[in-house]
Homo-oligomer: A and B are copies of this chain.
Amino acid sequence: MQLIDGKAVSSRVLKECKAQVEELVQQGCRPGLAVVLVGDDAASRAYVRSKERTCKDLGIYSVKLELPSETSQEELQEVIVGLNENPDVDGILVQSPPPSHIDEGAVVMTIDPDKDVDGFHPVNVAKLVLEDVGGFIPCTPLGCQRLLGDYGIKTQGAHVVIVGRSMIVGKPMAMLLMSKGLLGDATVTIAHSRTVDLPEVCRSADILIAAVGRPEFIGGDHIKEGAVVIDVGINRVEDPRAKRGYRLVGDVNFDEASQRCSAITPVPGGVGPMTIAMLMSNTVKACLQRRGLELNG
């Protein structure tokens, strides 16, 4: 049984990005990422800080905009329009979730699709479906695909079962893995809360991708002997023995799964670190495409 080391792969992605940023800086251009945070949710703050720090490590120009939680829809959208017009900003990300009075869909629509490094703008959603490689693909599915690729796990002709039909993971993951090409060409099944006999459906998977957001929901009985398991979930469960009073678990029961599968991503240290790495990769891509530059490396 092989552990799929997301930390190692994400380090490799970040190293690649750093080299690309250096080359771009030599060409006289520094990629820039703007992160907008509305309100003072502690977890969101931590995510934003981590993105800022990673930008700094890579030499990416980073803009952090912290807006009070009472910011109106109009004010937020004006901020985004300003970032759209800012030539030094290649990527724009609005940290999710915003306060409840904000219409997140309308906010995403305001972002210039060419700067939508999260890949949530309808133009980029459509590009993924249409297999247009110029679009931006959401970071988490893109990270899962990269993990599979780096570990030499063949998707072509493989049966991939994705549990969860969200816009952020399940659906883009399905589109990505059924697309034509070396890292796609999979037979893809999307299962969800309405699926009848989920364990049986999951047992038909060569590659099982869990993205349901329910702690340890996928047990050993969901896994075919020798399958590859990608666990997208990151759930907090109470644990009085843990320092902070909780521990992080995935959507998969790791102990049960690891006795049946051939490879698995741990939580933490699996898919998690990939998301931010692919965000950086998308930011470099945005810079290249927007400014019409090419890399020699």
Which residues of A approach B to under 8 Å, CB–CB? 105, 122-123, 125-127, 129-130, 156-159, 165, 167, 171, 174-175, 178, 185-192, 194-196, 201, 204
Contacts and interface: CB of A to CB of B under 8 A. Distances in A.
A141 to B, nearest CB: 13
A187 B178 contact: no
Contacts of A129: 125-126, 129, 167, 171
A126 B187 CA distance: 22
A156 B196 CA distance: 9
Given A122-B122, A158-B196, A174-B174, 11 more contacts: A122-B123, A123-B123, A156-B194, A157-B196, A178-B190, A186-B194, A187-B194, A187-B196, A187-B201, A189-B190, A204-B204
Contacts of A126: 122-123, 125-126, 129
A194 B190 contact: no
A225 B188 CA distance: 23
A178 B192 contact: yes
Nearest to A156: B194
A189 to B, nearest CB: 4
A51 to B, nearest CB: 25
A188 B190 contact: yes
Contacts of A191: 187
B125 A194 contact: no
A163 to B, nearest CB: 10
Contacts of A159: 196, 201
Contacts of A167: 129-130
23 contacts: A122-B122, A122-B127, A123-B123, A125-B126, A125-B129, A126-B126, A126-B129, A129-B129, A129-B171, A130-B167, A157-B195, A159-B196, A159-B201, A171-B178, A178-B192, A185-B192, A187-B189, A187-B190, A187-B191, A187-B195, A187-B201, A188-B189, A188-B190
A175 B128 CA distance: 13
A251 to B, nearest CB: 17
Nearest to A188: B190
